[in-house]
Amino acid sequence: MEKWTHFSVTAETRRLWRVTFDSPPINLVSPEMLTELPRLVDQMEAASELRVSVFESANCDYFLNHYDTSRVAETPKELGASGHPLLIDASTRLSRLPVVSVAKVRGRVRGVGSELIQAMDMRFASERALFCQPETANGNLPGGGGLEHLPRLLGRARALEVALSSDDYSGELAERYGWVNRTVADSELDAFVDTLARRIASFDTESIAAVKRQVNRSTLPSAEDLQSSYDLYMHSFGWPGSQRRLPAATAAGRNQPGDYELRLGYHLGRQPAEDTHDAHVRFEGQ
């Protein structure tokens, strides 16, 4: 298989692959990853015997983190095979593949990392997992599918709560909201997901593909809807609020590099507000 920059692919069998994210130190999504994800989907499409792909992380503290906003200017401009930006191309085609994609989440999954697993077919979380869409607190908006997938998964009110609070949500709450299929004890996560993945991988590809195709009819957003948010997200970096808030977030991250990412929801609640001195709040809805 091809050698990748920030993830590896292991064929456990011809029917079951494992994709392991590994982008030290905190699994930020990079421009290189955006370029490689459509090529990974290409390989999954070409593997005629592939039934299931499990996505996991080499870092138990960070499954897949937000986009590296210090490199926004390097975001690839080319389009994928579907004619859409690479992130939208990869997530849209992944959802529609006749292959079951399963996220096995330990640690933090935020921003575009969270949006990528929303495009997968199933999500299972450790009790140690944390979920977040942090973009609004940085003066932006979720642009990788969160505003399209979350209302379908959580319902309108909870999707708005998640997107507008920009806070961290525990694995237990993520299960209750419908963000993940279920949350289990960390010690049980591997056995649970691997047993399910191997079970599905033993079934016939025609049946798997037909089930996905029929369910997809009423559950997936269009690529055009996804691109609408993506285009607005890229445009939002020119908004005054984004130009004010992102440098403050970058400075805070430099000053407290470990704690800032570990407690991102807390620190985002302390972002500077333009019009008031008492806007430093922490949402305690969990």
Return d(Cα 243, Cα 252) in angstroms, integer: 15
Q: If you compute the radius of gyration of the chain from its CA atoms, what whole number of angstroms results?
A: 18
Backbone dihedral angles phi then psi of residue 196, each to the nearest 5 degrees:
-65, -45
Tens-digit pLDDT profile for residues 37-58: 999 999 999 999 999 999 999 9
- Residue (of 138, 237, 209, 127) closest to 171 by Cα position: 127
Return d(Cα 230, Cα 24) in angstroms, integer: 26
What is the CB-side half-sphere exposure of residue 87 using CA atoms within 13 A?
Answer: 31
Mean pLDDT, contiguous 10-residue spans, the chain (286 residues) = 87 97 94 96 96 97 92 92 95 97 97 97 97 94 97 98 97 98 98 98 97 96 95 94 81 67 84 54 54
Return d(Cα 261, Cα 107) in angstroms, integer: 11
pLDDT of residue 91: 96
* pTM across the whole model: 0.92
pLDDT of residue 283: 58
